[in-house]
């Protein structure tokens, strides 16, 4: 069943939130006419860094991949990581690049064997994965839109909603406490609410904001990245220890080594690796095992395309204690300046994507990631 990898290609995709390019769509060609696809996300609004990631893939990592057996995924990963070491770039853009290639290798290997990716990861523990809506924009001066979206998504069957934006969150504590209560009233009981907003400048201010959130008594599932887990890990650990809120972070971390430190140093309560920049599914699996060994919950981060969403669903389906996945299906208002449509990277890119019904993603049974790209749409959103 072995098959040599013949080629690795990459193209940059754009959308309204990243009009100069934000994603590298990676394709791996394998003997037998098999192609695997993966995603590398580089959130640079100017688009320059994503072009550098494409070059790293096609002129750097490709040399460590072509000629290898597509089923030797971990061996190939280590070969790519050796390239990172030579570049002294073990936590930067080169790891972003590895992520897209590794994801494509899993897709191709699954297709080669005729099995879905979750079987390559150890097996499927569930037929569907609960997802939470990401992310509802909150304008504190005109919050009615957030209330309306809250009610709409709950009516559609979603049982988890995350909020972002909210400029100045925590500065007017009385106002913000009441807005949190109004969001809860619109969501109703039994719906988990997450906050990805409020960036206090120091630990003392973060503790005060945490007390305000606690005082609102609206049962917040987690507060995401109130401080930097990378640059301010000691203060983040202090905040985690001093509040009853669940503190979540990890989207900015890379490789299992970074997550090992978050766990051992008790920096956060909940881990959020993003497969499109943490090192791909190979590292996602390693991080999931670390999280399980230390009994720390893990929910993959995703602000990318249907490709990354598919990979995340496959991973969570394979985790014995997997329970939730991020579903970025709201209008990306902050980036888009008021658009009313979700990103086409989620809604148009795949001719066959991951089905979501009543707040759950259905785990694909088709070989590989279980999605099929719409090549006309890919061409439309490719950076020239």
pLDDT in tens, 233-262: 999 999 999 999 999 999 999 999 999 999
Superfamily of domain 120-380: Enolase-like C-terminal domain (3.20.20.120)
Across the range 177-194, mean pLDDT stands at 98
C-beta separation of 250 from 301 below 8 A: yes
Check residue 84 and give its pLDDT.
87
Look at residue 334 and tell me whether its pLDDT is greater than 80: no
Coil, strand, or helix at residue 210? helix
Question: Over the chain, what is the mean pLDDT?
Answer: 96
Look at residue 336 and tell me whether its pLDDT is greater than 60: no
C-beta separation of 108 from 38 below 8 A: no
Across the range 11-37, mean pLDDT stands at 96
Q: What is the CATH number of domain 5-114?
A: 3.30.390.10
Q: Which residues pair with 163 in a beta bridge?
A: 136, 195
Q: Would you say the pTM of this structure is higher than 0.75?
A: yes
Q: Diameter of the chain by CA atoms?
A: 64
Measured from the Cβ of residue 111, the count of other Cβ atoms closer than 10 Å reads: 23
pLDDT digits (tens, 9 = 90+) for 113-155: 999 999 999 999 999 999 999 999 999 999 999 999 999 999 9
Across the range 353-375, mean pLDDT stands at 98
Whole-number Cα distances in Å, 249 to 53, 122, 208, 253, 341: 24, 26, 19, 9, 27
**Half-sphere exposure at residue 75, Cβ-oriented, CA atoms within 13 angstroms:** 8
pLDDT band at 181 (very low <50, low <70, confident <90, very high): very high
Look at residue 177 and tell me whether its pLDDT is greater than 90: yes
Q: Which residue is it, tokens 């956060």?
A: 268
C-beta separation of 89 from 42 below 8 A: no
pLDDT digits (tens, 9 = 90+) for 63-78: 999 999 999 999 999 9
CB burial of residue 342 (10 Å; 0-12, 13-18, 19+): middle
Report percent pLDDT > 90 for the chain: 92
Question: What are the residue boundaries of the structural domains of the chain, listed by start?
Answer: 5-114, 120-380
C-beta separation of 135 from 196 below 8 A: yes
pLDDT digits (tens, 9 = 90+) for 285-310: 999 999 999 999 999 999 999 999 99
pLDDT band at 332 (very low <50, low <70, confident <90, very high): confident
Q: How far apart are CA 38 and CA 52, in angstroms?
A: 17
Check residue 337 and give its pLDDT.
58
């Amino acid at each position: 069943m072995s098959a040599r990898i013949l080629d690795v290609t990459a193209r940059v995709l754009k959308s309204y939130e990243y009009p100069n390019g934000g994603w590298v769509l990676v394709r791996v060609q394998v003997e037998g006419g098999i192609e695997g696809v993966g995603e590398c996300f580089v959130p640079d609004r100017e688009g320059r860094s994503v072009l550098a990631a494409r070059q790293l893939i096609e002129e750097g990592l490709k040399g460590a991949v072509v000629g290898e057996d597509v089923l030797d995924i971990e061996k190939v990963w280590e070969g790519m990581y050796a390239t990172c070491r030579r570049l002294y770039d073990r936590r930067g853009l080169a790891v972003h690049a590895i992520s897209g290639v590794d994801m494509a290798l899993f897709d191709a290997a699954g297709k080669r064997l005729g099995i879905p990716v979750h079987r390559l990861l150890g097996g499927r523990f569930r037929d569907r994965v609960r997802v939470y809506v990401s992310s509802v924009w909150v304008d504190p001066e005109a919050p009615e839109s957030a209330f309306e979206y809250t009610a709409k998504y709950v009516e559609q069957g979603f049982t988890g909603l995350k909020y972002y934006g909210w400029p100045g969150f925590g500065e007017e504590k009385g106002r913000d406490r009441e807005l949190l209560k109004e969001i809860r009233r619109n969501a109703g009981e039994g719906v988990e609410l997450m906050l990805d907003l409020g960036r206090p400048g120091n630990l003392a201010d973060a503790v005060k904001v945490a007390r305000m959130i606690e005082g609102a008594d609206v049962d917040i599932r987690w507060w995401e990245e109130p401080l930097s887990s990378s640059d301010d890990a000691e203060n983040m650990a202090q905040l985690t220890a001093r509040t009853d809120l669940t503190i979540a972070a990890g989207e900015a971390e890379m490789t299992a080594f970074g997550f090992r430190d978050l766990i051992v140093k008790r920096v956060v309560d909940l881990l959020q690796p993003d497969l499109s920049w943490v090192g791909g599914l190979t590292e996602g699996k390693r991080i999931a095992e670390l999280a399980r060994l230390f009994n720390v919950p893990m929910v993959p981060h995703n602000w990318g395309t249907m490709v990354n969403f598919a990979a995340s669903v496959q991973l969570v389906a394979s985790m014995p204690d997997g329970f939730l996945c991020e579903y970025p299906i709201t209008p990306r208002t902050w980036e888009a300046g008021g658009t009313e449509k979700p990103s086409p990277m989620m809604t148009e890119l795949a001719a066959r994507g991951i089905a979501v019904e009543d707040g759950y993603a259905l785990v694909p049974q088709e070989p590989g990631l279980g999605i099929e790209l719409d090549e006309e749409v890919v061409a439309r959103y490719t950076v020239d």
